[in-house]
Structure 1
Amino acid sequence: MWVLVDNYDSFTHILLHYLQQLHGDIRVFKNDERTVADIALLQPSAIIISPGPGRPSGAGFTMDIIRHFIGHIPILGICLGHQALGEFLGARLVHAPYPMHGKQSHIHITADAESLGFPPSMNVMRYHSLVLEDYRDINGFVPLAWSDDDQALMMFYHPGYNCMGIQFHPESVGTEQGMRYLRSWYEWAFKDTAQKGS
């Protein structure tokens, strides 16, 4: 069973629909609906942290969920979730040069991203005004993609903690091959664990 943390985003139901194509048993909880202890009792095999408004520090139990589960089960953070993972790992969250709400950007991916099966560089949909910085010296932090227009970090992973952040919205119709991004995360996150398919 997977847990999808809903940070009060308008499109969590669309993200859920995409994720259900990868795994049939997903439970959705708003970030103030349960405690971390409640979620731990469910023994999830993965955590997905949804987009949402504001900063990670104001997103209910999001940071506590990361603190409890990171390194134990796969975690995927999208938009706000990406920022939350980055902050937890030691990156700095700052204002972007200009807001990117409902804006499409072309991204370029790294050789590491290609080796993980992510699609070639393409257009993605962004809904954010904050970006991660000061991440290059974080031990184990692997950048995977940047935007061409403002060079913002669009994707990263940390193999040691089995976590990945995606700044753009893979569930948006404005993101080309968004489902493939989620599938590539799934195949990477579960490739070496007995949890695959659990």
Structure 2
Amino acid sequence: MKLLLIDNYDSFTWNLAQYFGELGAEVSVERNDAITVNAIAARAPDAIAISPGPCTPNEAGISMGVIERFAGTIPMLGVCLGHQCIGQVFGGRVVRAPRVMHGKTSKIFHDEKGLYTGVENPFVATRYHSLVIAPESMPDALEVTSKTWEDEIMGVRAKGLAMPLEGVQFHPESIMTTAGKALLANFLRLAREATSRDVTFPNVPDSNVPAPDVTVPDVPDREAKA
């Protein structure tokens, strides 16, 4: 599987590249200002991952353009800043987090679907961020897939696309994230399964047009899991 990793000028990019490589992907890394959307289309990767990075989605180079162009046609995973880019592209607001989390760990409670299939619930993940997707701005086109004990959004998934599109606010590539490699393996599995199907690719959804109202699944009961 050919995986293109968009580097938002972050050292964690290389941890992601190493993990994906260990899981069997053929990884190529491109800086967010060193490749065009058309060049990516010509390269035709099997999957795309968008890395962590500094600043906001507005300073993430081509990252949001990649999501806008390939959502629904190429499997994609956004990590930290990449996750925030997904939220903003689909109409959410990225705002200052209630707490700055740099090198701190939290329990992550999830919906046990998609990226989280077969993953312990909760698991411990490392966080390096001062921004989050504002819960009140969550667009209908996305569903919340994971949260912290304090209900901070830690994961999102696009609804109704032919190809998987998921984001995680935490760092699966960190050694202190207990289920990190399992999550990345799940993404590659989802990508392989999706690309092996004979599908008709839909147009990228207009983030300004709300999708049909779908109830966001509850995070599993944390009282029983903690």
TM-score above 0.5: yes
Once the two structures are superposed, residues 20-70 of structure 1 have per-residue CA deviations (whole angstroms, 9 ceiling, x without a partner) of 123331110000112222222111111100000010111111111111111
TM-score (norm 1): 0.89
Cα distance change of structure 1 residues 186 and 24 upon mapping to structure 2, 3 Å threshold: closer
Could you say if the C-alpha distance between residues 121 and 62 of structure 1 is closer, same or farther in structure 2, counting changes exceeding 3 Å? Answer: same
| Alpha carbons 1:119, 1:181 under 8 Å: kept | no
Alpha-carbon distance in structure 1 between the residues aligned to 2:116 and 2:172: 19
Residue 185 of structure 2 aligns with which residue? 183
Matched, 1:152 2:152: yes
CA distance in 2, matches of 1:67, 1:53: 21
Contact 2:110 2:116 in 1 (8 A): no
**Would the aligned equivalents of 2:106 and 2:126 in 1 still touch at CA under 8 Å?**
yes
CA distance in 2, matches of 1:57, 1:145: 24
Moved more, 123-132 or 34-43: 34-43
SS of 1:48's equivalent? Answer: strand
- Matched residues in 1 for 2:112 and 2:27: separation? 31
Q: How many residue pairs are counted as aligned between the two chains?
A: 194
Q: Residues 24, 172 of structure 1: CA spacing in aligned structure 2 closer, same or farther, 3 A cutoff?
A: same
- Counterpart-to-counterpart distance in 2, 1:116 and 1:136: 26
SS at match of 1:156: strand
CA RMSD, Structure 1 to Structure 2 (Å): 2.0
Partner of 1:143: 144
Q: Which amino acid aligns with 1:82?
A: H
Aligned partner letter, 1:160? G
1:1-198 alignment runs, 5 A limit = 1-112=2-113, 116-134=117-135, 138-148=139-149, 150-161=150-161, 162-194=164-196
SS class of match (1:68): helix
| Identity rate, percent | 39
Residue type matched to 1:155 in 2? G
1:106 deviation in Å?
1.1
User: Where does the alignment leave 5 or more consecutive residues of structure 2 unmatched?
Assistant: 198-226
Q: What displacement does 1:133 show?
A: 1.8
Which runs of 5 or more residues in structure 1 are unaligned?
A: none
